[in-house]
């Protein structure tokens, strides 16, 4: 978070309602710190369980392991018939392709809605907003039948191709909002100079929209990385499993015997999302504050 | 549309007419073509992956269909069975409503309380906000569900902590009375994103209102009750609707924590989990389609109801 945002948050609201004595301030911080610890405790405990010697995992509620031992990571990595390297790779492929699909297809549609004039634009825009309300369960079964008949089950195509057809309409909406904020004079001037719509999209809109494209890309990545339902339905061959399916198989096959390995792989599976959290927190939080995304 | 047909005729009409026709085509193209070109991927997706499948699933919901044989028309039999003779549907409805009713109010209350604490010029706001937001970001993953399954197991971390105070806890996840609570706690743990939305809403409230109120001698509690809460009702409303719809659709945690069964004794049989079992466990695709449409109906009714009642309690400026 930048200082600018922070002061804009704190300065005005530290007015009358916020005025509190030193004691009140200490109490508030005590409460917030206690809450923070409670929130993070399970995560830190899992991290520490993953580097603990196996026999110590359930013996201790403390966060400090007596010794650090990465054996669980090795055991977990090769704990199933297919190694976790494969699952991570599969997740990465699906997530990266999804990011590309979402950014390309949604920005194309958003540009049309935000800037181009054509018959039926408002109609289609309303329809697009309508699709945001529909739970995916309604289209789930016919889509499955369709992809099954296309021979796409056990491939990444059912997870990826819809994104190239802008199926995550939420991002269209997000981008339309952003595009509308870009001064029209820019593309009108370009149009006067004989620029085609395509060139305006490519040379003016996209370069000016990097923040919203980045937000869409990051949320696409995180949601796809975490997605469990889609892979559960479409991927049955262990070689095609994503990391989430790999973890689920691990729980079912060895939950009683190898908690260390399970926690090690669970921790690893959170690393990419945590990375985005560390480096793009501002974009994530702004994305939520301005559009009300659910996570 | 008429113009398009006309020019099509003219194009077929002869060589002399061509320049005019091309001109017409060109002008129609110049006016509307680019828009539709940019919209093309979405249009294909809309017809092929949304509208088509939605219509198909409405049809399938009146059939018996197992993926192998062709769908067989059964009229309203699926819906009749759901309404009258399906104890698992009743259980799933009960569990899902219980989950919604428990998780959403707790989560939003927590989110609002913390947002109010953070809004009042707390030092280190960004650090706290980041810590509280992290679970929302990670919470949807299988890893967290796996962790939860261990935390609330009979020999899990929660019971180890309780044991230090001499309390012997039950096996939370395998006890039908408690298992739903582990999922509620997991949901409340992810209060971070509604909290961020509340913070953004609190920022919109003009501070001079509080100044005026405190000059008039209004207590802080009164200020909260008379200023903060009413002015925040649009945000509360928004969060409540989004979180409720989301809770109706919850799937992953219940699937992982119950090992896909919705047990013990259907106590974590979320609606979507039941739908999944029917469709992809028992291959009753027609029946599952009917379940899907009932879910849509429930969500639509809930949304309509929220918007209708909102004018009695949601405060809008203008």
Condensed to tens digits (0 to 9), the pLDDT of residues B283-304 reads: 999 999 999 999 999 999 999 9
More confident residue, A293 or B234: B234
For chain A, what is the HEC assignment? CCHHHHHHHHHHHCCHHHCCCHHHHHHHHHHHHHHHHHHHHHHHHHHHHHCCCHHHCCCCCCCCCCCCCCHHHHHHHCCCCCCHHHHHHHHHHHHHHHHHHHHHHHHHHHHHHHHCCCCCHHHHHHHHHHHHHCCCHHHHHHHHHHHHHCCCCCCCHHHHHHHHCCCCHHHHHHHHHHHHCCCHHHHHHHHHCCCCHHHHHHHHHHHHCHHHHHHHHHHHHHHHHHCCHHHHHHCCCHHHCCHHHHHHHHHHHHCCCCHHHHHHHHHHHHHHHHHHHHHHHHHHHHHHHHHCCCC
Report pLDDT for A6.
36
Chain A closest CA to B12's CA: distance in Å? 25
Average pLDDT, chain A: 86
Chain B closest CA to A217's CA: distance in Å? 15
Chain A closest CA to B33's CA: distance in Å? 8
% of chain B surpassing 70 pLDDT: 92
Contacts of A17 in chain B (CB under 8 A): 120, 207, 210, 214, 220, 223-224
| DSSP 8-state symbol, B216 | T
CB-facing half-sphere around the CA of A29: CA atoms within 13 A: 13
Contact B196 A118 (CB under 8 A): no
Report pLDDT for A237.
94
Contact B36 A118 (CB under 8 A): yes
CA B65 – CA B286 distance, rounded (Å): 5
Predicted confidence (pLDDT) per residue in A236-253, tens digit: 999 999 999 999 999 887
CA B48 – CA A162 distance, rounded (Å): 9
Chain B closest CA to A181's CA: distance in Å? 19
Contact B292 A138 (CB under 8 A): yes
Predicted confidence (pLDDT) per residue in B65-117, tens digit: 999 899 999 999 999 999 999 999 999 999 999 999 999 999 999 999 999 88
C-alpha B299, offset from chain centre = 9
* Cβ-proximal residues to A22 (8 Å cutoff; 6+ apart), any chain: none
% of chain A surpassing 90 pLDDT: 55
pLDDT at A170 over 80: yes
**Mean pLDDT, residues B267-280 taken together:** 94
Assign A11 a pLDDT band (cuts: 50, 70, 90): very low
CA B213 – CA B219 distance, rounded (Å): 8
pLDDT at B247 over 90: yes
A3 touches chain B (CB under 8 A): no
**Mean pLDDT, residues B192-202 taken together:** 91
Contacts of B273 in chain A (CB under 8 A): none
Contact A108 B38 (CB under 8 A): yes
Chain A closest CA to B178's CA: distance in Å? 19
Assign A295 a pLDDT band (cuts: 50, 70, 90): low
Assign A19 a pLDDT band (cuts: 50, 70, 90): low
A27 touches chain B (CB under 8 A): no
pLDDT at A72 over 90: no
CA B228 – CA B241 distance, rounded (Å): 20
Contact A18 B41 (CB under 8 A): no
Predicted confidence (pLDDT) per residue in B11-50, tens digit: 334 444 455 556 778 787 777 888 899 999 999 999 999 9
CA B132 – CA B68 distance, rounded (Å): 48
A271 touches chain B (CB under 8 A): no
Query: Looking at B32-46, B130-144, B159-173, which range is the least confident one?
Result: B159-173
CA A290 – CA A282 distance, rounded (Å): 12
More confident residue, A22 or A204: A204
Contacts of B142 in chain A (CB under 8 A): 226, 228, 244, 247-248, 251, 266, 269
More confident residue, A128 or B124: A128
Is omega for the bond preceding B264 within 30 degrees of 0, making it cis? yes
Report pLDDT for A259.
84
B83 touches chain A (CB under 8 A): no
* Mean pLDDT comparison of B12-26, B38-52, B215-229, B242-256, highest-scoring range: B38-52
**Mean pLDDT, residues A197-220 taken together:** 92
Q: What is the ipTM of this complex?
A: 0.86
pLDDT at A256 over 60: no
Show which of residues 218-237 on chain B sit within 8 Å of chain A, judged by CB atoms. 220, 223-224
Report pLDDT for A254.
58
Report pLDDT for B61.
96
**Mean pLDDT, residues B147-175 taken together:** 86
**Mean pLDDT, residues B175-184 taken together:** 90
Average pLDDT, chain B: 87
B64, β-bridge pairs? B72
Helix (H, G, I), strand (E, B) or coil at A287: helix
């Amino acid at each position: 978070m930048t200082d600018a945002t922070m002061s804009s948050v704190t300065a005005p609201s530290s007015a009358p309602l916020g005025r509190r004595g030193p004691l009140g301030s200490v109490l508030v911080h005590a409460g917030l710190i206690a809450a923070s610890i409670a929130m993070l405790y399970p995560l830190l405990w899992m991290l520490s369980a993953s580097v603990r010697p196996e026999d110590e995992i359930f013996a201790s509620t403390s966060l400090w392991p007596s010794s650090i031992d990465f054996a669980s990571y090795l055991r977990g990595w090769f704990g199933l018939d297919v190694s976790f390297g494969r699952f991570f790779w599969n997740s990465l492929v699906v997530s990266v392709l999804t990011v590309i699909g979402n950014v390309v297809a949604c920005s194309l549609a958003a540009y049309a809605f935000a800037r181009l004039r054509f018959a039926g634009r408002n109609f289609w825009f309303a329809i697009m907003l309508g699709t945001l309300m529909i739970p995916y369960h309604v289209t789930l079964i016919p889509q499955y039948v369709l992809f099954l008949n296309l021979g796409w089950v056990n491939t990444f195509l059912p997870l990826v191709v819809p994104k190239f057809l802008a199926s995550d309409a939420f991002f269209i909406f997000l981008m339309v909002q952003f595009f509308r904020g870009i001064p029209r004079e820019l593309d009108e001037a370009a149009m006067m100079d004989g620029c085609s719509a395509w060139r305006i999209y490519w040379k003016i809109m996209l370069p000016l929209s990097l923040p919203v494209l980045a937000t869409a890309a990051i949320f696409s990545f995180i949601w796809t990385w975490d997605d469990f339902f889609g892979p559960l339905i479409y991927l049955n061959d262990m070689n095609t499993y994503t990391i989430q399916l790999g973890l689920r198989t691990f729980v079912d096959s060895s939950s009683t015997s190898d908690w260390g390995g399970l926690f090690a792989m669970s921790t690893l599976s959170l690393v990419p999302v945590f990375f985005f959290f560390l480096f793009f927190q501002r974009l994530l939080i702004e994305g939520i504050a301005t559009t009300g995304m659910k996570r | 549309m008429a113009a398009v047909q006309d020019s099509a005729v003219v194009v077929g009409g002869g060589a002399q007419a061509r320049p005019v026709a091309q001109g017409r085509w060109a002008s129609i193209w110049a006016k509307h073509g680019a828009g539709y070109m940019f919209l093309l991927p979405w249009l294909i997706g809309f017809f092929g992956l949304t509208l088509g499948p939605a219509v198909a699933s409405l049809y399938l919901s009146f059939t018996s269909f197992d993926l192998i044989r062709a769908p067989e028309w059964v009229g309203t039999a699926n819906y009749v069975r759901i309404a009258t003779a399906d104890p698992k549907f009743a259980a799933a409805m009960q569990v899902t409503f219980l989950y919604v009713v428990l998780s959403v109010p707790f989560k939003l209350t927590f989110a609002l309380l913390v947002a109010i604490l953070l809004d009042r010029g707390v030092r280190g706001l960004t650090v706290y906000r980041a810590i509280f937001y992290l679970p929302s970001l990670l919470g949807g993953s299988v890893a967290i569900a796996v962790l939860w399954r261990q935390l609330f197991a009979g020999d899990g971390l929660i019971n180890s902590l309780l044991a230090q105070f001499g309390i012997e806890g039950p096996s939370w996840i395998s006890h039908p009375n408690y298992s739903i609570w582990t999922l509620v706690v997991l949901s409340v743990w992810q209060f971070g994103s509604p909290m961020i939305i509340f913070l953004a809403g609190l920022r919109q409230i003009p501070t001079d209102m509080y100044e005026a109120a405190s000059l008039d001698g209004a207590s802080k509690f009164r200020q909260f009750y008379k200023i903060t809460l009413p002015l925040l009702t649009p945000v509360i409303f928004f969060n409540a609707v989004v979180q409720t719809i989301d809770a109706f659709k919850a799937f992953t945690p219940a699937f992982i924590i119950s090992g896909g069964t919705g047990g013990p004794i259907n106590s974590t049989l979320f609606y979507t989990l039941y739908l999944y079992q029917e469709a992809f466990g028992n291959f009753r695709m027609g029946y599952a389609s009917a379940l899907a449409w009932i879910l849509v109906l429930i969500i639509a009714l809930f949304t309509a109801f929220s918007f209708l009642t909102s004018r009695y309690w949601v405060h809008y400026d203008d």
